[in-house]
Amino acid sequence: MRAIILKNDVLEARVCDFGATLLNLYVKDRQGNVVDVVLGYDELQRYCSEDGYLGATVGRVCNRIKNGTFDLNHKMYQLATNNGPNHLHGGIKGFSYQSFDIVEQTKSRVVLQYVSKHLEEGYPGNLTLKVIYELDDNCLNMKYEAVSDKDTLINITNHSYYNLSHEDTIDNHELMIRSDVLIEANKDGLATGKEVVLDGKPYDFRQAKIIKGILECQDEHIVLGNGLDHPFVFNHCKNQVCLFSPKSGIEMVVSTTLPQAQIYSANYLDGRMGKQGKKYNKHAGICIETQNMPDAIHLEDTPTTILKKGERYCESTQLIFKVR
């Protein structure tokens, strides 16, 4: 396992070849102190054995696939059901638990590559995925490029848990999401496809608001999800999410080519030991998992997660930092 350091005048990132994981992302706060804005572990080995996908690249298909089964070109495929009755985050040994090759590296950019074999975790097609982390001024760009030799499914995300101030929870963070609707999730966290209009809901984040209180509200979707754990559908095609810590002054804007993000308030962090002996409890961070529609193969007429043989999958998500 190797950690690679990317550095420019503004940002520093550490990336691991295991799971193409974002280990650290160092940003300066209002006082000029350096804050590592992602949760994780000090020992690389922990990334192999722990769940929760801290910082990991998730695929071949992130989020849940109903009953771990799908029909593609009139053929049924059976995937692992590793989350209740459903398939989650690429299966038992999804991309988060695979070793990537470092195929290119400069001071501010690294290209990691993984070749996923035909029927690995049940998915058809030999798929070559490139994950590119690149620093550009105040921005970390995460790019995903893939090609398969058979029709397959793909939906890649990064599963970093952000905390912009090292507070115990993200309760005091302010969140803005350019979204008018979220997709309902059932008791197993599976997207049902039903749209929930955000207007009037406590988790309508079209105007930036402090998170405190919202994750404990008695709204049926929040209660069922044990907090926020829902796909928010964007109504803009850039700068869709903004997370801000009034304490540190750090603002992070998320800008993506993808149409949605699973907003997950770390509801299942269980007090495990994280970096520098810090305990990660529930709501210790927030994930902004940019992606296509979860379970698109069952929910969409023209599923956005199908990658045709020989076609190129190409998506990117940028994290843009400022202090205020």
Binding site for ligand BGC (CB under 6 A): 52-53, 189, 229, 262, 264, 268, 289
Name the catalytic one among 159, 173, 230, 298: 159
Q: Give the list of residues 6+ apart from residue 119 with CB closer than 8 angstroms, or none.
A: none
* CB-nearer residue toward ligand BGC: 91 or 189: 189
What distances in angstroms separate CA 22 from CA 5, 81, 99, 215, one per listed residue? 10, 26, 14, 26
* CB-nearer residue toward ligand BGC: 248 or 292: 292
Task: Report the nearest approach of ligand BGC to the CB of residue 229 (Å).
Answer: 5
DSSP 8-state code for residue 56 = -
Closest by Cα among 39, 277, 69 to 165: 39
β-bridge mates for residue 226, sequence order: none
Task: Report the nearest approach of ligand BGC to the CB of residue 23 (Å).
Answer: 17
Sheet holding 21-28, edge to edge: 3-7, 12-16, 21-28, 34-36
- C-alpha dihedral sign at 69, 260, 210, 163: positive
Instruction: Check: CB of residue 161 under 8 Å from CB of residue 39.
Output: yes
Task: Report the nearest approach of ligand BGC to the CB of residue 63 (Å).
Answer: 6
Task: Report the nearest approach of ligand BGC to the CB of residue 305 (Å).
Answer: 15
Name the catalytic one among 12, 120, 134, 289: 289
Residue 221 falls in the annotated catalytic set: no
* CB-nearer residue toward ligand BGC: 163 or 262: 262
* CB-nearer residue toward ligand BGC: 27 or 261: 261
Residue 167 falls in the annotated catalytic set: no
Q: Cα separation of 135 and 319, whole Å?
A: 10
Closest by Cα among 299, 268, 297, 300 to 285: 268
* CB-nearer residue toward ligand BGC: 42 or 268: 268
Buried b (16+ CB within 10 A) or exposed e, 168-189: ebbeebbbbbbbebbbbbeeeb
Task: Report the nearest approach of ligand BGC to the CB of residue 192 (Å).
Answer: 14
Catalytic positions, written as ranges: 159, 289
